[in-house]
Amino acid sequence: MVKKTKRKHRDGAGHVATDAEPIVNEFTARQGTYRPSTVVDLGNELGGGRQKTYRVIRNLYPTIVDRWLAEGGPGFDEPQRRAIDHCRALWQRLGGSGTLVANLDWIGGGNPGRERGLEQAEALAQLGQYESRIPRPYWRVFENVLRYDMAAGAAGSHLAKNSAQQQAHAKNCVGFVASLIAMWRGF
């Protein structure tokens, strides 16, 4: 008599996946807001194949600033959202400076030669203008949280002594700087 065994699925790391384990566990749920979503893979359609859809669990707010914008409140309304998007676009134009891994897709990408250099220069000039008009401690928190996705407590560590106040001060700094930029840009 042959004994039948249940097949267990193993992921790439060799861990056995069980159906009883939730997709978003308790630790992960504390780190963000996750919702089921559908993703359409168009890659197969371009090659003549059928498109595929996948059910995924997606983090709605991948950064702390995105969560603050979703919550709303003083400093995180529509004008500030536009100012934050504006600054993110400026930093995007600068490229991946400061990263440890080379981005080979960036080489030759975007506008060629002189146009690319002018685009970077304009972004640097605009960001430099903002930085010169905003007190250094506030700009540093704004840039660290928005550009480098630093934790709010770490970014605000020089503004207060305990963790709750550091996070609150960082949030206020980001909202304040975004409000100033929104006012200057007429958003």
**How is the chain split into domains, by residue range?**
9-59, 64-185
Which residues partner with 57 through β-bridges?
36
Q: What is the pLDDT of residue 9?
A: 47
The pTM score is: 0.64
Q: What is the pLDDT of residue 5?
A: 45
- Helix H segments across the chain? 26-31, 43-46, 64-71, 78-94, 113-133, 136-146, 152-155, 163-185
| pLDDT at residue 21 tops 60 | no
From residue 128, alpha-carbon distances to 36, 41, 82, 90, 115 in Å are 41, 40, 19, 11, 20
Percentage, residues of the chain above pLDDT 90: 34
From residue 179, alpha-carbon distances to 70, 80, 88 in Å are 16, 5, 15
**Separation of alpha carbons 57 and 9, rounded Å:** 19
Higher-pLDDT residue of 89 and 54 is 89
| 48-62, 123-137, 151-165, range with greatest mean pLDDT | 123-137
Mean pLDDT of the chain: 77
State the pLDDT confidence band at 135, using cuts at 50, 70 and 90: very high
Closest by CA to 29, choosing from 65, 75, 68, 61, is 61
State the pLDDT confidence band at 24, using cuts at 50, 70 and 90: low
| Least reliable range by pLDDT among 28-42, 100-114, 149-163 | 100-114
Q: What is the pLDDT of residue 106?
A: 52
